[in-house]
């Protein structure tokens, strides 16, 4: 018996070669908006073109998006060098760079899982303490292992000072800049006297970039904003802030958010003020998560509020979208310099 000869597929050089090959099977997963417009496909390439299974292909539509894709490529290459043990399976492996009308498209291994954002937006998901606690525990657990695997040199935490500079640069003349900077200066006084080991940073560690399978994190995607060496507090805080930001998403304007006493959909991001300073199971959980994450990094838990202020400033400084950034600046400028006493600095864990 002789086997039918297998078709030899040449390695693709362009996105067109890959997507239009007759043997390619795939789906368009996501599109994102200007100026950072990208398309993400998951495709099963023709046999023999790439070593292992389905791949994700991220295609830039603009030069700005292309530079984000170049950064992500560098980050995936850096990640390849890190001995991460079983965690390596949760990070996309770099496979190839293809031409897309003169811009680079990134091909990486496709990871299994459903974004945490799908569950988050299920009706009443964020009204249920055990579901929310699980989300926070998963995010915290992955991050802790990642930070342990990538910890490098220790240094004084200059994060708040850096964010202050970034804010000045991004928002000169903004009516709330001065108030925001006062908060960052206060945060810098707290953070700047502490040392921490720098780690790799994901840079956009929000629940839409975490993939879940059977109740565990099976993938962490979207490394565009990653850093080889940075402040581990960035990812810790970003997850909490972004989780709180959308709590009011399914509530009509002006109305109370179900099962969150004290949270109404008024203005931009009321969930963030609530999550940091409110009373209730969710704010307690958010503060616990932040304190616990700091302790894991060898830092005093009381720094949680300074870290949160700095994280808000960072979103204001780095957001792709001007309105999103400016709204975070306003939010930061409107927060108290210190958390209210009973959530306070000395409250321990
Ligand atoms: N390597 C991958 N494996 C599986 N799914 C992926 C992969 N990369 C991206 N995705 C999916 O595509 C979506 C968009 O990709 P992402 O890298 O987050 O792009 P964007 O920068 O547009 O947010 C992700 O939320 C995820 O669902
Ligand atoms: Mg994403």
Q: Are 301 and 291 in contact (CB under 8 A)?
A: yes
The verdict on 146 and 289 lying in the same domain is yes
The verdict on 204 and 338 lying in the same domain is yes
- What distance in Å separates the CA atoms of residue 221 and residue 205, rounded to the nearest whole number? 9
The verdict on 31 and 128 lying in the same domain is no
Pocket test for ligand 1, best of 40, 120, 204, 205 (most atoms within 8 A of CB): 40
Q: Are 54 and 46 in contact (CB under 8 A)?
A: no
Q: What is the dihedral of CA 66, 68, 69, 75, to 10 degrees?
A: 150
Q: Are 76 and 223 in contact (CB under 8 A)?
A: yes
Q: What is the mean pLDDT of residues 261-285?
A: 96
| Structural domain count, the chain | 2
The verdict on 59 and 102 lying in the same domain is yes
Residue 216 placed within a domain: yes
Can you give the CATH number for the domain in which 210 is found?
3.90.1200.10
- Could you read off the pLDDT of 158-183 as tens digits, one per residue? 999 999 999 999 999 999 999 999 99
Longest CA span, the chain: 81
pLDDT at 232 over 60: yes
Q: What is the mean pLDDT of residues 43-53?
A: 86
Last-in-domain residue among 61, 86, 109 = 109
**What is the rounded average pLDDT for all residues in the chain?**
93
Residue 55 placed within a domain: yes
Confidence class of residue 123 from pLDDT cuts 50, 70 and 90?
A: very high
- Could you read off the pLDDT of 315-343 as tens digits, one per residue? 999 999 999 999 999 999 999 999 976 66
Which percentage of the chain shows pLDDT scores above 70?
A: 94
- What distance in Å separates the CA atoms of residue 313 and residue 73, rounded to the nearest whole number? 26
The verdict on 104 and 148 lying in the same domain is no
Residue 1 placed within a domain: no
Check residue 309 and give its pLDDT: 98
The verdict on 118 and 192 lying in the same domain is yes
Confidence class of residue 346 from pLDDT cuts 50, 70 and 90?
A: very low
Q: Which helix (H) or strand (E) holds 219?
A: strand 216-220
- Is the CB of residue 55 below 6 angstroms from any atom belonging to ligand 1? no
Check residue 344 and give its pLDDT: 58
- Could you read off the pLDDT of 235-245 as tens digits, one per residue? 999 999 999 99
- Is the CB of residue 92 below 6 angstroms from any atom belonging to ligand 1? yes
CA distances to 128, 240, 273 from 282, rounded to whole Å, are 9, 11, 12
Q: What is the mean pLDDT of residues 26-49?
A: 83
- What distance in Å separates the CA atoms of residue 189 and residue 70, rounded to the nearest whole number? 35
pLDDT at 234 over 60: yes
pLDDT at 63 over 80: yes
Q: Is residue 173 packed enough to be buried (19+ CB in 10 Å), middle (13-18) or exposed (0-12)?
A: exposed
Last-in-domain residue among 65, 89, 109 = 109
- Is the CB of residue 118 below 6 angstroms from any atom belonging to ligand 1? no
The verdict on 150 and 249 lying in the same domain is yes
Which residues sit opposite 195 in a β-bridge? 156
The verdict on 188 and 324 lying in the same domain is yes
Half-sphere exposure at residue 65, Cβ-oriented, CA atoms within 13 angstroms = 21
Q: What is the mean pLDDT of residues 16-41?
A: 82
The verdict on 88 and 177 lying in the same domain is no
Pocket test for ligand 1, best of 57, 91, 222, 223 (most atoms within 8 A of CB): 222
- What distance in Å separates the CA atoms of residue 240 and residue 305, rounded to the nearest whole number? 12
Can you give the CATH number for the domain in which 30 is found?
3.30.200.20
Q: Which helix (H) or strand (E) holds 28?
A: strand 25-32
The verdict on 131 and 243 lying in the same domain is yes
DSSP H helical ranges for the chain: 15-20, 63-80, 116-120, 129-150, 159-170, 177-191, 233-245, 270-277, 281-296, 304-318, 322-334
The verdict on 148 and 119 lying in the same domain is yes
Helices 322-334 and 270-277, interaxial angle, to 10°?
40
Helix, strand, or coil here: 245?
helix
Residue 29 placed within a domain: yes
- What distance in Å separates the CA atoms of residue 171 and residue 35, rounded to the nearest whole number? 19
Check residue 1 and give its pLDDT: 44
Domain housing 91: 15-109
Check residue 347 and give its pLDDT: 41
pLDDT at 288 over 90: yes
The verdict on 171 and 310 lying in the same domain is yes
The residue assigned the tokens 């099977």 is 25
Q: Whose CA is nearest to atom 16 of ligand 1?
A: 222
- Could you read off the pLDDT of 8-26 as tens digits, one per residue? 677 889 998 888 888 888 8
Residue 159 placed within a domain: yes
Residue among 38, 180, 56 at smallest CA distance from 112: 56
- Is the CB of residue 222 below 6 angstroms from any atom belonging to ligand 1? yes
Residue 36 placed within a domain: yes
Other C-beta atoms within 10 Å of 6: how many?
Answer: 8
Residue 10 placed within a domain: no
Phi, psi torsion values for 41, nearest 5 degrees: -115, 150
Residue 118 placed within a domain: yes
pLDDT at 33 over 70: no
- Could you read off the pLDDT of 78-104 as tens digits, one per residue? 999 999 999 999 999 999 999 999 999
- What distance in Å separates the CA atoms of residue 119 and residue 197, rounded to the nearest whole number? 33
């Amino acid at each position: 018996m002789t086997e039918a000869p297998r078709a030899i597929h040449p390695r693709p050089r362009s996105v067109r070669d890959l997507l239009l090959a007759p043997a390619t099977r795939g789906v368009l997963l996501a599109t994102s908006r200007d100026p950072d417009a990208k398309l993400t496909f998951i495709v099963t390439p023709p046999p023999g073109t790439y070593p292992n299974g389905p791949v994700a292909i991220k295609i830039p539509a603009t030069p700005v998006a292309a530079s984000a894709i170049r950064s992500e490529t560098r980050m995936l290459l850096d990640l390849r060098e890190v001995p991460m043990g079983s965690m390596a399976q949760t990070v996309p492996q770099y496979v190839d760079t293809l031409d897309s009308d003169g811009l680079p498209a990134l091909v990486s291994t496709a990871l299994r899982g459903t974004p945490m954002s799908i569950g988050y937006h299920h009706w009443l998901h964020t009204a249920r303490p055990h579901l929310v606690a699980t989300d926070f525990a998963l995010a915290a657990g992955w991050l802790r292992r990642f930070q342990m695997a990538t910890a490098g040199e220790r240094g004084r935490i200059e994060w708040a000072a850096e964010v202050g500079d970034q804010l000045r640069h991004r928002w000169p003349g903004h009516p709330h800049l001065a108030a925001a900077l006062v908060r960052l200066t206060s945060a810098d006084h707290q953070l700047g006297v502490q040392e921490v080991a720098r780690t790799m940073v994901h840079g956009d560690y929000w629940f839409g970039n975490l993939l879940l399978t059977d109740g565990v994190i099976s993938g962490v995607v979207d490394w565009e904003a990653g850093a080889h060496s940075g402040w581990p507090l960035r990812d810790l805080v970003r997850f909490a802030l972004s989780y709180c930001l959308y709590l009011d998403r399914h509530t009509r304007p002006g109305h109370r958010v179900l099962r969150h006493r004290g949270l109404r959909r008024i203005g931009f991001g009321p969930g963030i003020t609530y999550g940091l300073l409110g009373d209730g199971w969710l704010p307690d959980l958010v503060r616990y998560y932040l304190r616990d994450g700091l302790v894991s990094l060898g830092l005093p838990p009381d720094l949680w509020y300074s870290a949160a202020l700095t994280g808000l400033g960072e979103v204001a400084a780095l957001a792709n979208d001007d309105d999103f950034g400016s709204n975070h600046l306003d939010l930061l400028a409107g927060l108290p310099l210190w958390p209210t006493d009973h959530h306070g600095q000395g409250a321990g864990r």
